[in-house]
Chains A and B, each alone.
Chain A
Amino acid sequence: MKRVLLLSLVAAGCGALAALAYAWHGEMAPVSPPPAAAFERAQIERGASLALIGDCRTCHTAPGGPTFAGGLAMPTPFGTIYSTNITPDPETGIGRWPLAAFVRAMREGVDREGRHLYPAFPYDHFSLTTDADLAALYAFLMTRAPVVATAPANQLPFPINIRLVLAGWKLLFFHPEPFANNPARDAAWNRGRYLVEGLAHCGACHTPRNLMGAEIRSRAFAGGEAEGWTAYPLGAQSPVRVPWTKAALAQYLREGWQADHGVALGPMGPVTENLAEAPAQDIEAMADYLASLGTPASKTAMPKAPAPDASGQRPQSTGWQAAAIALPADTGAGRRVFAAACAVCHQAGRPLPLGGVDLALSTALAAETPQNLLNLILRGVPAADGLAAPVMPPFAAMDDTALTALLDYLRRDIAARPAWPDLAPAITAARRAASPQTNVNPAKGAP
């Protein structure tokens, strides 16, 4: 009996040691920040392009703060995580990180000191990145201006605030494999897949996550949620009425809007702003791969867009400059709100970006939840800096009754889909998220 006990103790001890060995990562010795001359110009430029595709600056820059200096609050279901300073400042940034430490962070989610990183940093995608591309990204980041900035402490509850717990998470959900080309496909498609699945980390938002915050890989691109916005399903599971083509995807990714689908908003807005500056060839490759994810099997008959209410005018403004809209006496409340507030742009017959999106095609109206449509109505579409892009004012004055009637009308009569059930909680949540008191990063599209 004693012997069995002893053996189990030894086994348990070994197990604990093995677990610690798995969980434990050593510190990598700090280096003096490498001088800019240590890197080739071409390598730095390549790194700059890859950083745009990786969307690095979006998370690693606080609203109004210096680029890459971190401090952005990222709300997660578990608490708020603050992005870190990835400028080469030796004390508060990554200036003392050797290349090997940068590679380890991107591939294994462990910082130079050996601490596990939270998967809000999407190393489950970045791990696919090749050695050469990681070296280029490192060269780019190490040649940026160093900024002294320390991110606020994460606000996470016990036990998630203990970083060693992440070793268990990784054991369960993080099984990196190097990227392998599919020989049956051409170079462009493989390049697109490498970027989409890797650095661009599209699945981080567009793939649903389990209760532990890990992507459910068996449901890749089935749609997810990020920062209070719906990330629509991609490929065969997409709710869109007009299937995405490679050309449409390429335009959307570069310009942030596409006439048959809508406008990139919420967290997708900065993604397309970054991709606008990335190499066209890479965007084409990403579009190629994304288009190959398939198109929805059955299409409901496309409803005909209602005839414009206005008499063929092309008003530049609402109200007096638009033709009077005569509505029959029995017109429902939703249609009335639509005619008064929306039709002047959305039925004016002008193409994007000067007119409104054709709402019969809008993905926001076809989506499973009204989340994005509500965000859009309450926050509007802010003007893009220096780009010809669609804009829309926020309709902050719409009360819950008007919103409910409008959404029912849009969903049933314009999108020809069953009404969204239970709008009240969705409206409350969208209002809360849009209000300046609760919007943690107000620079990102608050009214």
Chain B
Amino acid sequence: MTTFTVNGTRRTIAAAPDTPLLYVLRGELELNGAKFGCGLGQCGACTVLVDGEPVFSCVTPVMLLEGRAVRTLEGLGSAEAPGPVQAAFIAEQAAQCGYCIAGMIMRAQALLERDGDPDDAAILAALEPSLCRCGTHVRIVRAVKRAARAMAGKMEAVR
């Protein structure tokens, strides 16, 4: 048994301790935002946040997550009420096939939480582990910048 939170909800997982987090998310919890791409921690489609840091969930056994906080794409917003990063990706039409985008969004989220105004180099470095074979890279970078502006505006409004 492994207990950790997923998008703020406490979950107790019965799967074998060496089961990759990705399989638990998709198979057991029906959170299908994170995708199975390569299964080798090389493509980034399975990226989720653990305590705010992006990790490849396909190579992360659940036994490492006892007491930790996992966030997935579903934790950032829904189709009806997308979060600022998701909304920015939609507004910039940053997806072509879309398979990598869940991971891209999670990496962008982690970046923007530690750096509210990243430059191009910081965005490229942060998203570098995620592979996109379609070629919407320019739109993805634009989306991250749009999200940064949106998040900064929201902060202003709160103040």
Q: Do A and B come together as binding partners?
A: yes
Please tell me if B13 contacts chain A, counting CB pairs below 8 Å.
Answer: no
Question: What total of chain B residues lie within 8 Å of the partner, measured CB to CB?
Answer: 33
A312 within 8 A of B: no
Instruction: Known contacts A318-B58, A320-B23, A391-B40; decide if A340 and B17 are in contact (CB<8 Å).
Output: yes
- Complex: A209 Cα to B3 Cα, angstroms: 48
* B124 CB → nearest A CB, Å: 7
* Stretch from B49-57, B71-79, B82-90, B144-152 that touches the partner: B49-57
Q: Which A residues from 377 to 425 make CB contacts under 8 A with B?
A: 380, 383, 391-399, 402
Interface class of chain B by DSSP:
mixed
B31 interfacial by beta-carbon distance below 8 Å: no
A319-B64 in contact given A64-B121, A340-B17, A396-B53 (Cβ < 8 Å): no
Any chain B CB within 8 A of the CB of A314? no
- Closest chain-B Cβ to A47's Cβ sits at a distance in Å of 31
Residues from chain B with a CB closer than 8 A to the CB of A398 are 64
Is the pair A341, B41 in contact by a Cβ cutoff of 8 Å?
A: no
Interface string of A316-332 (1 = CB under 8 A from B): 11111100110000000
Q: Give the size of the chain A interface in residues (CB under 8 angstroms).
A: 33
Q: Which residues of A contact B40 (CB under 8 A)?
A: 316-318, 391, 393
Q: Does B42 contact A (CB under 8 A)?
A: yes
How far is A317 from B60 in the complex, measured between Cα atoms in Å? 12
Interface membership of A294, Cβ < 8 A: no
Q: Give 1 or 0 for each of B95-133: 1 = CB within 8 Å of chain A CB.
A: 000000000000000010010000001001110110000
- Give the residues in chain B near A447, CB-CB below 8 Å: 54, 129
> How many CB-defined contacts (below 8 Å) exist between A and B?
88
User: A64-B124, A436-B125 are contacts. A402–B64 as well, Cβ < 8 Å?
Assistant: yes
User: A340 touching B129 by the CB < 8 A rule?
Assistant: no
Indicate which residue in A339, A391, A392 contacts B18 across the interface (CB closer than 8 Å).
A339
| Residue of A340, A391, A399 with highest tally of chain B CB at under 10 A | A340
User: Is A211 in the interface zone, CB < 8 Å from B?
Assistant: no
Q: Contacts A321-B39, A383-B42, A442-B125; is A397 near B60 (CB within 8 Å)? A: yes
- Residues 43-66 of A, flagged 1 when their CB comes within 8 A of B and 0 if not, give 000000000000000000001100
Q: Does A307 count as interface, using CB distance less than 8 angstroms?
A: no
Residue A134, interface by CB 8 Å? no
B33 located at the interface, meaning its Cβ lies under 8 Å from any Cβ of chain A in the complex: no
* Chain A residue at minimal CB-CB distance from B41: A393
B68 contacts partner chain A, Cβ-Cβ < 8 Å = yes
Q: Which of B39, B121, B125 is in CB contact (< 8 Å) with A318?
A: B39
Residues in chain A within 8 A of chain B (CB atoms): 63-64, 316-321, 324-325, 336-337, 339-341, 380, 383, 391-399, 402, 436-437, 442-443, 446-447
13 contacts between A and B (CB under 8 A): A64-B124, A316-B40, A318-B61, A319-B19, A319-B22, A324-B16, A325-B18, A337-B61, A341-B64, A392-B41, A393-B56, A395-B59, A396-B55
